[in-house]
Amino acid sequence: MSEKLGKIADGLLHGKIKEVAELTQELLDEGMDPEEILQKGLFAGMDVVGKKFRDCEMFIPEVLRSAKAMHAAMEKLRPVLSEESSSKAGTVVMATVQGDLHDIGKNLAGMMMEGAGFNVIDMGIDRKTEDIVAMVKDKKPQILGLSALLTTTMPKMGEVINALKEAGIRDQVKVIVGGAPVTDDFALEIGADAYAPNASIGTEKALELVKG
């Protein structure tokens, strides 16, 4: 069975969507603990994917295939995983801010964060500040990820952070910002907790922030 865990990790690395899903189902049918499949197969594989992407040894199309393979496996695992097991790292709410319709980077980050063990709630694109704040109030995530690809929409990130302060919940959530025009200096200026230049680093930052 441990050989199949290795095949799952390798299948994720090579974006073998059908194979990863089938191997996951086989291990479940054989009675393996779903938590073990998650940790030693899926998380192990996505950890390598994240490192290779960070080191420019893998590129967005390949990482997206790996992420799709991860999703296919999670479809098999979710019904048998406890909520606690499937979101061990914590909860992340992600959104592209109001006025911005770009979502590839956000989607990729969400997939990689799910691969790292987060429960990811993706609000989608063009989301109003008040809706984002309401979601943070409702879901109480550990992390809020904000994305913008236009310089004209970047100020909305600061608006969200200010709205969180006004709502009295800013200290309850760590805010990570990202997107092509976003910089470390801008993140500092608006009071974000971290800046993510890409999905892999965003995932690493999220893990660091929840660990304190």
Please tell me the predicted confidence (pLDDT) of residue 87. 58
Residues 135-158 have a mean pLDDT of 97
pLDDT tens column, 149-169: 999 999 999 999 999 999 999
Residue 152 class from Cβ within 10 Å (0-12 exposed, 13-18 middle, 19+ buried)?
Answer: exposed
pLDDT tens column, 34-89: 889 988 998 889 888 888 888 889 988 898 899 889 889 988 988 887 654 555 78
The segment(s) of the chain belonging to CATH 1.10.1240.10 are 2-85
Mean pLDDT for all residues in the chain: 91
CATH of 2-85, one of 3.40.50.300, 3.40.630.30, 1.10.150.120, 1.10.1240.10: 1.10.1240.10
pTM, to two decimals: 0.76
How many Å apart are CA 40 and CA 104, to the nearest integer?
28
User: Which CATH superfamily does the domain covering 87-211 fall into?
Assistant: Cobalamin-binding domain (3.40.50.280)
Helices 44-54 and 2-13, packing angle to 10 deg: 30
The segment(s) of the chain belonging to CATH 3.40.50.280 are 87-211
Phi, then psi, of 119 in degrees rounded to 5: -85, 115
